[in-house]
Amino acid sequence: MLIGVPKEIKNHEYRVGLTPSSVREMCAHGHQVIVETMAGDGIGCSDDDYIAAGGQVVGTAAEIFSRAEMIIKVKEPQASEYAQLREGQLLFTYLHLAPDAAQTEGLVKSGATCIAYETITDKRGGLPLLAPMSEVAGRMSIQVGATALQKANGGCGMLLGGVPGVAPAKVVVIGGGVVGTNAARMAIGLGADVTVLDRSLERIAYLDDVFGPAMKTLFATVDATEKLVLEADLVIGAVLVPGAAAPKLIKREQLSAMKKGSVIVDVAIDQGGCFETSKATTHADPTYIVDDVVHYCVANMPGAVARTSTFALNHATLPFALALANKGWKQACADDAHLLAGLNVHAGKVTYKAVADALGYDYTDPKSLLG
């Protein structure tokens, strides 16, 4: 199969779909890989590195999209990219379609087969291609939240861990999954007063076993969530409904009752955000203020630490990418129900129910497409 890797064009997105090591692996299985020039510069990998791995470097994204049978990316295709997709072409990347009507329409019109990293599952019910970026985003959320708390950045001027004789910041993490667990680990390490909210008693018990008295846990009722958020200095939104739009857990009217100079980091912004006042921002302009509350809502947080993120992501995506290249999407999905769960759009049909429901499309069961 001829595989194409374009340079990412989303604002301050430095990750790349395949590392040179992954290109070498693809070539070892008999595939050809074309990579847009400078696609790996953001992770410290040159065109020469890709050539040494067996890839071919080409000058433009247009050549990638026109020639490749499978496109491997990191972020969802931007308008200029999905306009170049064609019928029968395979796209393998993060999509996050439920809150993105324009992209969904573009992919449907293209006729391409689009498999989303974030909805591929595993035998434990996890999301193995989302997990590495969730780990990065969870850890980053505390880093950026601590910076946003500084007075010069609009925050209340509080040091996350405090100092002897001065209380630490109160950090509330809504959601105890991969993002929330990693956020809690970082916040505890910095000495913050940390509480995690979740609706799964099994997950709460797990977190209690892992962190012990260093962290508090609470069952996430509406009342408990509101009480903690209004007392918090830093709130991390870490909720996830796989493939669907994130629920709006904090309403606009509640925001005005939060502490002046408190900070919200909405890691769920890729799926629309879990605060009613959330809107996607970029690394170039990451924050805004509503009712004296600082909002950090960057939609591609891991792109800021592109090298770490790209290598971690490639470790997770490569086995699936190889299966798609070796077998073709139909046979690969027939052989692996977890990969089939990643199929979101095919030949003008929406094949992921949460996306169809969110955006008003007719739903096509992906199993019906396998023959």
Active site residues: 96, 270
Of 97, 346, 362, the closest CA to residue 244 belongs to 97
Asked if residues 14 and 8 have their Cβ atoms less than 8 Å apart, the reply is yes
Q: Return the residue matching tokens 């509406």.
A: 222
Residues 274, 261: Cα–Cα separation, whole Å: 19
Taking the C-alpha atoms of residue 76 and residue 292, their distance in angstroms, rounded to an integer, is 32
- Report the run of H or E that residue 82 belongs to, with start and end: helix 79-82
Measured at the CA of 136, the angle between CA 132 and CA 141, to 5 degrees, comes to 145
Q: How far is CA 113 from CA 80, 88, 122, 282, in A?
A: 17, 7, 21, 28
The first and second tokens of residue 340, run together, are 């089939």
The arrangement of strands across the sheet holding 287-290 comes to: 216-219, 193-198, 170-174, 234-237, 263-266, 293-296, 287-290
Residue with tokens 């709006």: 248
Question: For 70, which DSSP code?
Answer: E
